[in-house]
Amino acid sequence: MGDKISVLIPEEKVEERIRELGKQIGEDYKKEGVEEILLIGILKGGAFFATELAKRLDLQVMVDFMAASSYGDSTESNGNVKITRDTDLSVEGRDILIVEDIIDTGRTLKALLEIIGQRGAKSIRLCTLLDKPDRRVSQVKVDYNGFKIPDVFVVGYGLDYAQRYRNLPYIGVVEPEK
């Protein structure tokens, strides 16, 4: 594993921002009288962020997961979203918080938001740890954003490069081995 990784966002800043997001999300839902939410983490990378965020929400939190792909065998999204793992819990009539590790083109999340909406969710909000607005192709409303980052290839905190580096406690920029 000779890849060079430089720190983009240190562990302390990631943890601090997650605490801030948890507080803000809890306050926003409570202002609306919402006491329980269904947090849906988007696998695989979003599981790390979803777990840490859930621990910091001052609400009743049910947790479930989904996985989707729009890449097929390519490195570029083809726009056709396939759900590869669906939720176990019904979203109907629930306040949903979708938690994602990173948003770049927005295609997959736009489709997931539409699917969950069609299933009768009471409300849907989106929280992402990282946002790459320069790569946006499909517009999605991001309700809670950890960090806006430039168009660089990042790993750590759930994000991977060839299934490696998910366990790094910080967000790093990877420069593949030459």
- Name the active-site residue from 104, 134, 151, 160: 104
Query: Which whole-number Å values give the CA distances from 125 to 9, 81, 157, 174, in the listed order?
Result: 24, 19, 21, 30
Query: Which whole-number Å values give the CA distances from 161 to 66, 111, 148, 150, 157, in the listed order?
Result: 20, 24, 20, 17, 12
104 counts as catalytic: yes
Q: What is the side-by-side order of every strand in the sheet holding 154-155?
A: 4-9, 171-175, 154-155
Q: Which of 34, 57, 13, 21 is nearest to 156 (CA)?
A: 13
Q: Which residues are catalytic?
A: 104
